[in-house]
Structure 1
């Protein structure tokens, strides 16, 4: 997936910064992802190591600033961190692209 596929027109992150944001998601997944479940077309549940809490909170907050259609819900649970990501139906392709990052 190229970084141009990553962000729809609704994203306000400058184009030059997009590869760095993709790299941040890649690093989060590579270092902390334990499980991923595609609940439905608009919902993705990720289980991360609890050590990822600060990184995940910062990254999802910054992503929400530029792509307001994302909804991120972080829930610590024992030694893990549950991250639910939802998008409206018009942005399913973005969730698909995000899902490909950990595959």
Structure 2
């Protein structure tokens, strides 16, 4: 598939991404570390909508805001919405257009793997 980048290890890095190729592995490591530390659950609400349930710490919120802002700047097709449904929880809703569902599939799989979820 043309959207796969074997050097970065994932289908969720599409050709539409403007992040320089050399920086992509570093961004993936940042997401993996974030998912490992903060992710508590993954819900696929629709093919185009993924909800990530996160710990509610201020550190997790700051990291989520930073990562999603940087990711939005290079992959403008992502829509990220961070909310606090309770004092000890955060949710990160990730949406993509239909043309990028495979990218969302890759993100969901990578998140589950990094966090040790099934």
Of 29-38 and 4-13, the range deviating more from structure 2: 4-13
Does residue 88 in structure 1 map to residue 94 in structure 2?
no
The correspondence of residues 17-96 of structure 1 with structure 2, limited to 5 A, is 17-51=23-57, 52-76=60-84, 77-96=86-105
Tell me the distance in 2 between the aligned counterparts of 1:30 and 1:9: 26
Q: Shift of the alpha carbon at 1:6?
A: 2.8
Q: Determine the structure 1 residue equivalent to 2:116.
A: none
Tell me the distance in 2 between the aligned counterparts of 1:67 and 1:91: 11
Q: Shift of the alpha carbon at 1:10?
A: 1.0
Largest Rg, 1 or 2 = 2
RMSD (Å) for aligned C-alpha atoms: 1.4
Structure 2 unaligned residues grouped into runs of 5+: 114-118
Structure 1 unaligned residues grouped into runs of 5+: none
Report the TM-score when normalising by structure 2. Answer: 0.82
Q: Shift of the alpha carbon at 1:35?
A: 1.0
Aligned residue pair count:
103
